[in-house]
């Protein structure tokens, strides 16, 4: 157990604690003002200095897993660098390329010091001399908040650099981030070696999502026992979930693992119409029909039982008035266009799949199109240098499982559903920062909407 720990926030919010105290009157870009270093230290106290292994062990006992989508145990990555040659780099992967996610932008634009604390703690633990924070060029509020936060932090510790990068779904993949930082195009590289073996400038590099690092900062201050006070034994702690779609108050909410799906929707103001399905895990995620989805909790074992995972913490509610087939065709069209063009099965396979789903949605598909799409989806899986085809094929398979019965009505031309407008970036335009509202979760025991 970690020594000399402070008492952490009880209940929720944890990561987002103190955010509701900030002055919202000078909000910019719909993102609100960032917490200053003084405010941050008033909420959480000064940065602790655990011994390297002490931090790794506390993170291991906390059960913390990465929040960038791969769900990988954070302590395993930390330990591999601690036991390595040292002198590497910490990369804060703030790309947040998932169009329906807003949690990383929320953390970086409002609570930059919490994320930087996690990065500095990780750097000290693994003997890294530098931290690089990478965000997308269009995340203007995050860039401003980070620039100002970095400028006021003491020089005692690793150097901290901030860098922007091009947008695009696969630019957030960790090897694409490294490639870009090394001066190459922001496209994934073939692995191994993985970044923790040979990353930025050929040195061992720890790439972590901002939420993961913010959680590390809390574990370092308050300890693993506190961390486990929320959540389940298999999934301890809390998570940021971006909830959008047919809900009254779309936004980013901090919720405890183990929370029933019905309560997640309630946190976002409740559904605005009867729901037909939930998309869990974002555009690499899985459609689940609403009757099954409502029986789930925010817990890995529940999500796994219906073939999905929380991914980067995205939940989209699809109302009955919308057409799931049409929305899925839009999303797979977007994903196909995001391929970095390096692997044949990804380039040609996703294109064929997108055309097939588009034809199913427009009603122009032949009788065997569904089977062809499913065959292609199975064929592209595992055949790319990165997981882009895997995520895209999972999404399409779930779409055809949940909305497959509607193919006939599309062929007959009788689908007149309204567009649900699942969020997708417009090429050439910055991502609208206000598209997904930023909201703080209710405190434990009291529900509050913003
Ligand atoms: C196509 C693709 C896009 C990704 N985009 C992001 C991203 O925008 N942000 C992120 O943190 N991780 C993203 N990831 C996951 C990263 O590769 C990596 O697993 C993650 O940054 C590690 O951090 P974590 O262990 O804290 O989750 C993406 C992965 C893939 C396959
Ligand atoms: S699988 Fe697709 S996105 Fe990933 S590296 Fe290959 S071509 Fe690029």
Show the tokens assigned to 211: 């939420």
**CATH class, 19-227 region:** alpha beta
pLDDT, residue 87, reads: 80
Pocket of ligand 2 (CB under 6 A): 170, 187-188, 339-343, 346-347, 384-386, 388-389
Q: Which fold has domain 324-411?
A: de novo design (two linked rop proteins) (1.20.1440)
Distance 169 CA to ligand 2 centre (A): 11
Helices (H), 338-440: 344, 350-362, 369-380, 388-403, 407-411
The label of the residue with tokens 């105290």 reads 21
Report the distance separating Cα 253 and Cα 250, nearest Å.
9
Residues 46-86 have pLDDT tens digits of 999 999 899 999 999 999 999 999 999 999 999 999 988 77
What DSSP string describes 205-248?
Answer: EEEE-HHHHHHHHHHHHHHHHHHTTSB-SSSBSEEEEEEEESBS
- Domain range summary for the chain, segments of one domain joined by +: 19-227, 238-319, 324-411
Pick the atom of ligand 2 nearest to 346's CA.
2
Residues 369-423 have pLDDT tens digits of 999 999 999 999 999 999 999 999 999 999 999 999 999 889 888 887 877 889 8
For residues 234 and 299, the answer to whether their CB atoms sit within 8 Å is: yes
Distance 430 CA to ligand 1 centre (A): 21
Show the tokens assigned to 84: 């390595």
Side-by-side strand order, sheet with 89-94: 159-165, 130-136, 89-94, 205-208
Among the listed residues 136, 128, 161, the one whose alpha carbon sits nearest the alpha carbon of residue 147: 161
Distance 344 CA to ligand 2 centre (A): 9
pLDDT, residue 32, reads: 79
Q: What is the CA radius of gyration of the chain?
A: 21
Distance 384 CA to ligand 2 centre (A): 5
- Which amino acid residue places its CA nearest to atom 1 of ligand 2? 384
For residues 234 and 215, the answer to whether their CB atoms sit within 8 Å is: no
Query: What end-to-end distance do the CA atoms of the chain give, in Å?
Result: 37
Pick the atom of ligand 1 nearest to 388's CA.
1
Q: Considering every ligand atom, which ligand is closest to the CA of 311? A: 1
Show the tokens assigned to 193: 């070696």
* H and E: helices and strands count for the chain: 17, 9
List the chain residues with pLDDT less than 50.
25-30, 433-438, 440-450
pLDDT, residue 428, reads: 65
Show the tokens assigned to 159: 């150097």
pLDDT, residue 41, reads: 96
pLDDT, residue 450, reads: 31
pLDDT, residue 27, reads: 42
For residues 345 and 325, the answer to whether their CB atoms sit within 8 Å is: no
Report the distance separating Cα 113 and Cα 195, nearest Å.
25
Q: What is the helix (H) or strand (E) element at residue 337, kind and residue range?
A: helix 324-337
Query: What's the Cα-to-Cα distance from 152 to each of 36, 42, 105, 148, 215, rounded to whole Å?
Result: 9, 16, 20, 7, 22
Domains 19-227 and 238-319 share a fold: no
Q: Considering every ligand atom, which ligand is closest to the CA of 136? A: 1
Question: For all residues of the chain together, what is the average pLDDT?
Answer: 91
289 DSSP assignment: E
297 DSSP assignment: B
Residue 277 in 3-state DSSP?
strand
Please state which of the four CATH numbers 3.30.70.2740, 3.10.20.600, 2.60.40.10, 3.40.50.261 is assigned to the domain occupying 238-319. Answer: 3.10.20.600
pLDDT, residue 117, reads: 98
């Amino acid at each position: 157990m970690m020594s000399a720990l402070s008492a952490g926030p009880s209940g929720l919010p944890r990561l987002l604690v103190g955010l509701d105290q900030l002055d919202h009157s000078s909000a910019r870009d719909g993102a609100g003002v960032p917490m200053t270093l003084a405010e941050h230290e008033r909420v959480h106290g000064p940065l602790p200095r655990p011994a390297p292994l002490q931090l790794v062990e506390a993170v291991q006992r906390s059960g913390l897993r990465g929040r960038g989508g791969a769900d990988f145990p954070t302590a395993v990555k930390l330990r591999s660098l601690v036991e390595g040659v040292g002198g590497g780099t910490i990369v804060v992967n703030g790309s947040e390329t998932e169009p329906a996610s807003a949690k990383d932008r929320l953390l970086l634009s409002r609570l930059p010091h919490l994320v930087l604390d996690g990065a500095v703690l990780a750097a000290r633990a693994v003997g890294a001399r530098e931290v690089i924070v990478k965000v997308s060029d269009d995340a203007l509020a995050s860039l401003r908040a980070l620039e100002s936060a970095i400028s006021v932090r003491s020089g005692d510790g690793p150097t901290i650099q901030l860098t922007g990068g091009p947008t695009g779904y696969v630019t957030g993949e960790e090897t694409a981030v490294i490639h870009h930082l090394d001066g190459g195009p922001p496209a994934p590289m073939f692995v191994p070696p993985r970044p923790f073996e040979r990353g930025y400038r050929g040195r061992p590099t720890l790439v972590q999502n901002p939420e993961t690092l913010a959680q590390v900062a809390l574990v370092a201050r308050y300890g693993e026992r506190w961390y486990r006070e929320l959540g389940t034994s298999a999934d301890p702690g809390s998570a940021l979930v971006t909830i959008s779609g047919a809900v009254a108050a779309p936004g980013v909410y901090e919720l405890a693992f183990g929370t029933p799906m019905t309560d997640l929707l309630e946190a976002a103001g409740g559904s605005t119409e009867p729901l037909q399905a939930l998309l869990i895990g974002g555009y690499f995620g899985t459609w689940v029909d609403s009757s099954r989805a409502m029986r789930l909790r925010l817990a890995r074992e529940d999500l796994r039982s219906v073939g999905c995972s929380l991914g980067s913490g995205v939940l989209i509610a699809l109302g009955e008035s919308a057409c799931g087939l049409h929305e899925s065709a839009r999303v797979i069209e977007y994903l196909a266009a995001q391929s970095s063009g390096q692997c044949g099965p990804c380039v040609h396979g996703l294109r064929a799949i997108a055309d097939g789903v588009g034809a199913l949605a427009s009603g122009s598909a032949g009788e065997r199109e569904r089977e062809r799409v499913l065959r292609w989806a199975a064929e592209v899986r595992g055949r790319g240098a990165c997981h882009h085809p895997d995520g895209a094929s999972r999404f399409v398979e779930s779409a055809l499982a949940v909305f497959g019965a509607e193919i006939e009505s599309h062929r007959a031309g009788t689908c007149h559903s309204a567009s649900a407008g699942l969020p997708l970036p417009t090429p050439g335009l910055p991502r609208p920062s206000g598209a997904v509202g930023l909201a703080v979760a209710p405190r434990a025991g009291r529900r509050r909407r913003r």
